[in-house]
């Protein structure tokens, strides 16, 4: 079991972000984990019919499965390391496991047209 699978399992079992799970996320991911936890707490993980979107301070980031198109994911993370995730992906994983995705019954592509 990878470290990511470990904290995902902790979240799935408890259904909430416990202090033990938060500590493990931060231990594994450092500042990225802290930023992800903050995003979940601030309800910045949005679920649409087509994508999950994490709202950052400067832009919105589309997260698909374990991938993100942010600069951090493209340039700083080792694609071979299963624990190397950007904070957007970590936030989406946390929110999904604890039921904290802010769901919208619409297509994200429609929302982008208004932005």
- At residue 115 the predicted structure's pLDDT band, cuts being 50, 70 and 90, is low
- At residue 22 the predicted structure's pLDDT band, cuts being 50, 70 and 90, is very high
Domain-wise residue ranges, the chain: 3-114
User: Pick from 40, 24, 57: which is nearest to 94 by CA?
Assistant: 40
pLDDT at 57 over 90: no
Distance CA 98, CA 11 (A): 6
3-state secondary structure of 59: coil
pLDDT at 14: 95
The helix (H) or strand (E) run that includes residue 55 is strand 52-55
pTM over 0.85: yes
62: Cβ contacts below 8 Å, ≥ 6 apart: 51, 52, 53, 68, 69, 108
């Amino acid at each position: 079991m990878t470290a990511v699978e470990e904290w995902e399992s902790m979240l799935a079992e408890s259904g909430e972000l416990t202090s033990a799970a938060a500590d493990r996320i931060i231990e594994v991911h450092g500042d990225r984990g802290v930023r992800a936890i903050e995003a979940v707490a601030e309800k910045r993980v949005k679920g649409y019919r087509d994508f999950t979107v994490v709202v950052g301070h400067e832009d919105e980031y589309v997260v698909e499965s374990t991938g993100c198109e942010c600069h951090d994911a493209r340039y700083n993370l080792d694609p071979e390391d299963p624990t190397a995730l950007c904070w957007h992906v970590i936030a989406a994983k946390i929110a999904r496991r604890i039921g904290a995705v802010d769901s919208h019954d619409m297509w994200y592509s429609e929302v982008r047209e208004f932005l």
